[in-house]
Chains A and B, each alone.
Chain A
Amino acid sequence: MNLLSVEHLNVNFHFKKRELTALIDVSFNLKRGERIAIVGESGAGKSILGFSIVNLIGKPGYIQSGTIKLENKDITKMNLRQLQEIRGKRIAMIFQDPMMTLNPVITIGDQLVETIRSHTKINYKDAKNIAIEKLRNVQIASPERRFDQYPHELSGGMRQRVIIASVLLLNPDIIIADEPTTALDVTIQAEILQLLLAICRDNGVALILISHDLGVVSKVAERTLVMYAGQIVEEGPTLEIINDPQHPYTQGLLNALPQMALPGQRLNQIKGSMPSLAERPSGCAFHPRCPYATDKCRTQQPEFIYSGVSSVACFMVEDMLSEFSQDDEGSL
C-alpha cells in the first residue's frame, strides 16, 4: 500500500484580477521507506508541490482540487488542528536555507523541545534528553552545550544538522527536503547529503527530495519525478532517467550538467527560460524550448504514457512507441 498518494493535484494562486495555475494535475505515489526526488528548474513548482503536501502553501496559493492521501486520510480536507497533528509528527520538512530556518532569538534547545512537547505529553526533562540524543545522532559534538546556544553561534552546516535533528525528533514517516544542500558550502553538501541518506535508510523514513541538482538526486533517490511548468513530464527509476532520459526537457537538463561539456567548450544549456505562471504556453508547455516541437505540440497537451520503464508526457515519445508497436504487429 502507498504511504502517500497524490492524485490529480491542482494548485492555484488567487489574485484580485485573475487565477494563476501553479500545479496541474500532479499525481504520484510514495511507498513506506522509499526515497524519491523531484527535479526541475526554478519556477517549475517543485517547492510548491513540497509545501502543498502538508498544505502549507503561502497565500494567495491554495489547493484547487485533487487529493493528497496519507494512508487513506485526505490531507486536503483536514482542518488546521488535524494538519498540525500531521506536520512535524508524520511529515516533517527541511528547508533550503539553514541560516533563515531557525528562529534567531530562541535557543536551539527550546526550538527542539517545543516540537516534541506540542505533539506529545512528554515532560521538559525527557524531551530535552530526546533532543540531545537526536543532536548526537546527527553528529553534533557536545550536544549539551549546543542545546543552550542560539542559532547565530552555529555555522551553516551545523544549523542544517540541527534542522535534520529537529525533523527526526518524532520519528516521522516522511521527510520532505526542499533543496537541503543548495545554500551550503560544497564541502559540507556531501556530508549533509550522506547524513540525510543514512538517516532515512536506517530508520525506514520515506524521503521526498526536492532539488535542481541531478548529481545530488542520483546519489539519494530511487525514483525521480521531473517537473516542468507545474506538471510532471517524466517519472521513473532514477538510474533510467539519468541514463536514458525520454522527455526532451530531461535530456536538456542532463546535457546542461557541467560534466557533459568538454573542457574549454561552452556549457550546454536549454535555450530560453521557464515560462512564468502567467505566460504558460498552449499545448505542451515545453514546446517553445523543445528542439523536436511539432504543430501538434503547440495545440495539444500530451498524455502521460508508460514507455516500459518510465512514464513520459511527450508526443515524440508517444509517436515513437506507437511506431514500435506497429512494427511489431507488421512483423507478426
Chain B
Amino acid sequence: MLAFLLRRLIQACFVLIVISLISFAIQDKLGDPVRQMVGMTTTPEVREQLRDELGLNDGFITQYTRFAKNALTGDFGTSYYYKEPTIDVILKKLPATFELAFCAILLVICIATPFGVITAIHPKHLVSRLIMLVSSIGLSIPIFIIAIFMVYVFSIQWNLAPSFGRGETTLLFGFWESGLFTKDGLSHLLLPSLSLAIALIPIFVRLIRSEMSEVLQSEYIRFAWSKGLSAPRIYFFHALKNTMLPIITIGGIQAGTLVAYTILTETIFQWPGMGFLFMDAVSRVDTPLISAYLMVVGGMFVVMNTFVDLIYGLVNPTVRLASHGL
C-alpha cells in the first residue's frame, strides 16, 4: 500500500514536470501580459522596464529554472491581475468547481447505471430503444449547445432554476465555501451540474450496457439462476458488481474529460470556479495563473486516478494492492 502510494507520488511529480514544461512553452504565444497590465498611455520604455522586472526578457531556460525553484518551495508565482499568489487564487475557486464536478459525477452514476442496466436486461424493449436513441443523440451534441439550450428552456422559458452564479453559500471549516447546504445554492447547482452530467451520461449508458450484456451471458450468471436467486439479486448484485470493474477504470479516465468540460460549463453558467478563472486568465494573458491552473489540474488527475485504483482494488478481489505492492 505504502509502496503503491509512493509510486503514485513519483508519477505525480513526473506528470507535473511535463505539464509545467508544456505550459511554459506555450505562454509567450498567448499574447503580451504587459499590454493587459498597463494603460494606453504607458511609454515603451516603462513597458520594457516592467518586462525586465517580471523577468519576461530572460530566456526560456532561465525563466523555467526560476519557476521550478520557486515551485519547489510552494510558490507558483503571483497572478498579474489579482496580485496574489496564484495558488491562493486557484484554491479559493476550487470548492466551486469541486462541488460542481461532484454533483455531476453523482448524477452520471445515478442516471447512467439504471439506464445501462435496463437496456442490457431488455435490449429489445421500447424503453431501451428510446434510451439508446436519446443517448446517441446526446453523444453527438456538443456540451455548450446542451448548456445554452438548458438555460433557454429551464431558466428563461420556464423559470425553474437560476442560470448563473452559485447563489447563497455557507462557509465550512473556515475556508470551504459550499453551496450544497442552502436551498438557493442547490438550485444554482442544478443546471450546471446537469449539463455537465449530460455530456458523460450517454457514454456511460453505452459502456454499462455493453459490459453488462456480456456479463449476463456468463456461466456464473446462469449458475446464479439455477440456484433460484431472485432477478434483482442476480442483476444488481451478481451482474452489476462484475460490470463495474471496467467501468471504474474508464470512469477514472473520463474524470479528466470532466475537468475539461467544467471550463465550458462554468463559462456558460458564470460559475465562479477554476474553469471560469482559467478562461479569464487566458483572456488577460495572466501566464502565471495559467501555468498554476494546469499544474493543479494535473495534480488532480493523478489524485483522481490513484483514488480510482484504490476503489478498483476494493471491488476486484483478484487485485490486492497491498499484497502485490502495485
| Chain A interface residues toward B at CB < 8 A | 54, 56, 58, 80, 83-89, 92-93, 95, 97, 100-107, 114-115, 118-119, 150, 152, 163, 166
Residues of the B chain whose Cβ atoms lie less than 8 Å from the Cβ of A101: 219-220, 223
Chain B residues with CB below 8 A from A83, complex form: 228
Asked if B231 and A88 make an inter-chain contact with CB atoms under 8 angstroms apart, the answer reads no
Instruction: Decide: A105 and B226 in contact? CB cutoff 8 A.
Output: no
Instruction: Identify the stretch in B134-142, B183-191, B258-266, B310-318 within 8 Å (CB) of chain A at 4 or more residues.
Output: B310-318
| Distance between Cα atoms of A64 and B229 in the complex (Å) | 25
Q: How far is the CA of A54 from the CA of B245 in the complex (A)?
A: 31
Asked if B233 lies at the interface with its beta carbon under 8 angstroms from chain A, I say: yes
The CA-CA distance from A97 to B218 in the complex, in Å, is: 11
Q: Assuming the A-B contacts A84-B228, A102-B220, A106-B241, are A152 and B318 also in contact, with contact meaning beta carbons closer than 8 angstroms in the complex?
A: yes
- In the assembled complex, the Cα of A256 lies from the Cα of B92 at a distance in Å of 80
Of all chain B residues, which has the CB nearest A107?
A: B317
Which chain A residues lie closer than 8 Å to B237 at the CB level? 106
Cα A89 to Cα B227 with chains together (Å): 8
Contacts of A54 in B (CB 8 A): 226
Q: A118 touching B227 by the CB < 8 A rule?
A: yes
Residues of chain B lying within 8 A (CB to CB) of residue A56: 222, 225-226
Does B41 interact with chain A (Cβ within 8 Å)?
Answer: no
When chains A and B are docked, how far (Å) is the Cα of A4 from the Cα of B245?
A: 41
**Chain B, interface residues (CB within 8 Å), range:** 20 to 34
Contacts of B315 in A (CB 8 A): 105
Smallest CB–CB gap between A166 and chain B, Å?
Answer: 7
Interface centre among B228, B238, B316 (most CB of A within 10 A): B228
CA distance A118 to B225 in the complex (A): 12
Name A176's closest neighbour in chain B (CB-CB).
B226
B200-220 interface with A by 8 A CB criterion? 218-220
**A-chain residues with CB within 8 Å of residue B241 when the two chains form the complex:** 103, 105-106
Question: Shortest CB–CB separation between residue A90 and chain B, in angstroms?
Answer: 9
Give the complex CA separation of A83 and B225 in angstroms. Answer: 10
Return chain B residues, CB-CB under 8 Å to A152: 317-318
When chains A and B are docked, how far (Å) is the Cα of A270 from the Cα of B220?
34
Of the A-B pairs whose beta carbons lie under 8 Å apart in the complex, a sample of 26, sorted by A's number, is A84-B229, A85-B228, A87-B227, A88-B227, A88-B229, A92-B227, A93-B223, A95-B219, A95-B222, A97-B219, A100-B219, A102-B220, A102-B223, A103-B223, A103-B242, A104-B220, A104-B318, A105-B315, A105-B317, A106-B238, A107-B317, A114-B229, A115-B228, A118-B228, A118-B229, A152-B318
Which residues on B sit within 8 Å (CB–CB) of A119?
Answer: 228
Per-residue 0/1 for B300-326: is the Cβ within 8 Å of any A Cβ (1 yes, 0 no)?
A: 000000000000000111100000000
B230 at the interface (CB under 8 A from A): yes
* CB-based contact A84/B230 at 8 Å: yes
| Cβ-closest chain A residue relative to B219 | A100
Q: Is B268 an interface residue (CB 8 A)?
A: no
Residue picked from A86, A105, A106, A152, most chain B C-beta under 10 Å: A105
Contact B230 A118 (CB under 8 A): yes
Is there an interface contact between A88 and B228, defined as CB atoms closer than 8 Å? yes
| B150 contacts chain A at the CB level, 8 A cutoff | no
CB contact between B242 and one of A58, A104, A114, A118 (< 8 Å): that residue: A104
Residues of chain B within 8 A (CB-CB) of A100 are 218-220
Q: How many Å from the CB of B101 to the closest CB on chain A?
A: 28
Give B218's nearest chain A residue, CB to CB: A100
Q: Does B226 lie within 8 Å of A88, measured CB to CB?
A: yes
User: Are A103 and B220 in contact (CB-based, < 8 A)?
Assistant: yes
**B224 in the interface (beta carbon within 8 A):** yes
Quick one: which of B246-284 are within 8 Å of A by CB? none
Give Cα A80–Cα B229 distance, bound, in whole angstroms. Answer: 11
**How many angstroms between the C-alpha atoms of A97 and B219 in the bound complex?**
8
A8 CA / B227 CA spacing, docked (Å): 26
CA distance A118 to B231 in the complex (A): 11
Least CB separation from A163: chain B residue: B223
Bound together, the chains give a CA A87 to CA B230 distance in angstroms of 11
Shortest C-beta distance, A208 to chain B (Å), equals: 13
Residues of chain A lying within 8 A (CB to CB) of residue B218: 100
Q: In the complex, what distance in Å separates the CA atom of A88 from the CA atom of B245?
A: 28
- The residues of A that contact B317 with a CB separation of less than 8 Å are 104-105, 107, 150, 152
User: From residue B243, how far is it (CB to closest CB) to chain A in Å?
Assistant: 10
Closest 7 CB pairs of A and B: A88-B228, A87-B228, A100-B219, A88-B227, A150-B317, A93-B226, A103-B220
Check B231 against A80 for contact (C-beta < 8 Å).
Answer: yes
Chain A residues with Cβ below 8 Å from B223 are: 93, 95, 101-103, 163
Instruction: Kindly state the separation between the CA atoms of A152 and B218 in the bound complex, as whole angstroms.
Output: 16
Complex contacts, A166 vs chain B, CB 8 Å = 227
Chain A hits for B220, CB < 8 A: 100-104
A83 and B228 CA atoms in complex are apart in Å by 7
**In the complex the two chains form, is A87's CB within 8 Å of B225's CB?**
yes
List chain A residues, Cβ under 8 A from B242: 103-105
Nearest residue (CB) in A for B220 is A103
Q: How far is the CA of A118 from the CA of B219 in the complex (A)?
A: 20
Give the distance to chain B from A296, nearest Cβ to Cβ, in Å: 41
Given contacts A54-B226, A86-B228, whether A114 and B233 have CB atoms under 8 Å apart is yes
B residues in contact with A104, CB < 8 Å:
220, 242, 317-318
Report the Cα distance A106→B245, complex, angstroms: 13
B222 touches A58 (CB 8 A): yes
CB distance from B51 to the nearest CB of A (A): 60
A163 to B238, CA, bound (A): 16
- Contacts of B219 on A, CB cut-off 8 Å? 95, 97, 100-101
Asked if A150 contacts B231 (CB within 8 A), the reply is no
Contact A115 B227 (CB under 8 A): yes
Interface centre among A97, A107, A114 (most CB of B within 10 A): A114
* B238 surroundings in chain A (CB, below 8 A): 103, 106
- State in angstroms the CA–CA spacing of A102 and B317 once bound together: 13
Chain B residues whose CB sits within 8 angstroms of the CB of A102 once the complex forms: 220, 223
CB closest residue in chain A, given B215: A103
What's the least CB distance linking B212 to chain A, in Å? 14
